[in-house]
Amino acid sequence: MTQYAVTDPRTGERVSDVPTDTDEQVLEAVASAYRTFNAWGRTSSVADRAALVRRVSELHTERREALAESMNREMGKVMDDALGEVDFSAAIYAYYADHAEQFLADEPIDLLEGEGTAVIRRRPLGVILGIMPWNYPCYQVARFAGPNLTAGNTVVLKHAPQCPESAAQLAKIFSDAGFPEGAYVNIYASNEQIEQIIGDPRVQGVSLTGSERAGAAVAATAGRHLKKVVLELGGSDPFLVLGSDDMDATVDAAVAARMENTGQACNAGKRFIVTDELHDEFVSKFTAKMLGQEPAPLSSLAAAERLEGQVRSAVAAGAHLETNGERNGAWYPSGVLTGVSPDNEAFRQELFGPVAMVFRAKDEQEAIELANDTPYGLGSYVYTNDPEQAARVADQIDAGMVFVNGVGAEGVELPFGGVKRSGFGRELGRFGIEEFVNKKLIRTVS
């Protein structure tokens, strides 16, 4: 049975418990979302929905401290990071409120022959299930709920078991913003109940952000029931260092890419691939900078133990680890792994925490090959002082996103998503609102 509880990873203290919903409560959540879709989602105007979403944005700003404090308790998120996450979430809702009518406007089609007109009309699909992770409790919900509610879908939201407090706060925000009951329904459901929800004919789609294993399970269930799925899964993003006019600045960017959210981000830089002539200087400066990072807890004791096991296995298989401490509960020291060979399990694993892997490449082509030698394909980073090289390499990387000479460059207007085992579909930007709408053709002959 799934256990919903707040356990502060900084201290290990179990702060609160929340009972898992009964089967009857879960069924009523779906029924409520379905009723509201038929009464509100089908009939409300885009302008009215946009106004509600805008109010959600405003309430995030008004309640940013409380939301940040919840994330700090639930998964150890550093307060500055937590406040920034709430602000970015508010910007997502505001973005969809600003652009809703543009994104959902009718799109005429020029006829090749015949009389009359043809138009694509974007209409909501119905009830959409969202399954959200623990590492960005506000931001992930914003990516899912913002575009879907703007489009007129209703949403049933299952958050991670360790984030029941922020889940409740977010549900209250949608209620206080004026959304009708059933438009946004928070559930504390078990995995077995989620499988039943996906199979419910009243549910038209599911969006999951989480692990590769969870994504495969959800996709299999959705496939059996012919449901649309959006998956944003793990990543082992390459960070290619091919040229630099300022190695200190490049190293600062590399550390920032690795240490976002204490290294617990799907699209964090995780594999640093450096060409021969830059390798030694980069490793020296990068290692010093990584080992000088302020310690912070991972999201849970289990997360820290999992990372510790991966690193130990990597070292046992021949890798070299530079670190300045040992795990203490959920607190895990930053570190750098070198000498990770292709036959080492860590070579193709995602390390979710403050540990980086660095690889030497003899030239640009080998760097690209190393970058693509992974089952994942979420994000990637290319650092070079040669614009032609940047364009050439970016085009050859197998990933959903490539960031050239910059980290932290994501934006509410930019689509987010991956390829290969990092999932499929896109969130944010115009593409995010297109995933769960019916692009209905209306052809009028006379």
Residue 190 lies in a domain: yes
Residue 39 lies in a domain: yes
Same domain, 224 and 151: yes
Residue 416 lies in a domain: no
Q: Which secondary-structure segment (H or E) carries 400? A: none
What are residue 274's DSSP bridge partners?
241, 360
DSSP labels, 276-327: HHHHHHHHHHHHHHHHTSPP-B-S-HHHHHHHHHHHHHHHHTT-EEEES---
Each residue's pLDDT tens digit, 333-355 = 999 999 999 999 999 999 999 99
Residue 212 lies in a domain: yes
What is the band of 2 on the pLDDT scale with cuts at 50, 70, 90?
Answer: confident
Same domain, 101 and 115: yes
Q: What is the CATH number of the domain that holds 170?
A: 3.40.605.10
Same domain, 268 and 396: yes
Same domain, 159 and 267: no
Same domain, 192 and 292: no
Strand-by-strand arrangement of the 127-131 sheet: 184-187, 154-158, 127-131, 203-209, 228-232, 423-424
**Options 85, 232, 364, 435, the catalytic residue:** 232
Same domain, 227 and 360: no
Same domain, 209 and 160: yes
Task: Tell which residue, 299, 135, 154, 134, has the closest CA to residue 144.
Answer: 154
Residue 122 lies in a domain: yes
Same domain, 192 and 264: no
Which residues, in sequence order, are CB contacts of 119 under 8 Å at separation 6+? 106, 107, 108, 109, 441, 442
Same domain, 180 and 254: no
Counted domains in the chain? 2
Residue 167 lies in a domain: yes
Same domain, 148 and 259: no
What is the band of 330 on the pLDDT scale with cuts at 50, 70, 90?
Answer: very high
232 given a catalytic annotation:
yes
**Options 74, 85, 266, 427, the catalytic residue:** 266
End-to-end CA distance of the chain: 59
Same domain, 272 and 137: no
Residue 293 lies in a domain: yes
Same domain, 226 and 356: no
Residue 126 lies in a domain: yes
- Quickly count: other Cβ atoms within 10 Å of residue 314's Cβ: 24
Pairing of strands 154-158, 228-232: unpaired
Give the model's pLDDT for residue 1.
Answer: 56
Q: What is the CATH number of the domain that holds 388?
A: 3.40.309.10
Residues 212-239, mean pLDDT to the nearest whole number: 96
| Residue found under tokens 């996103």 | 401
pTM here is 0.96
Task: Tell which residue, 60, 142, 139, 46, has the closest CA to residue 97.
Answer: 46
Residues 303-326, mean pLDDT to the nearest whole number: 97
- CB-based contact 121:440 (threshold 8 Å): yes
The domain of 32 spans 4-234+421-444
- Dihedral, 392, 398, 402, 404 alpha carbons, nearest 10: -30
Each residue's pLDDT tens digit, 270-313 = 999 999 999 999 999 999 999 999 999 999 999 999 999 999 99
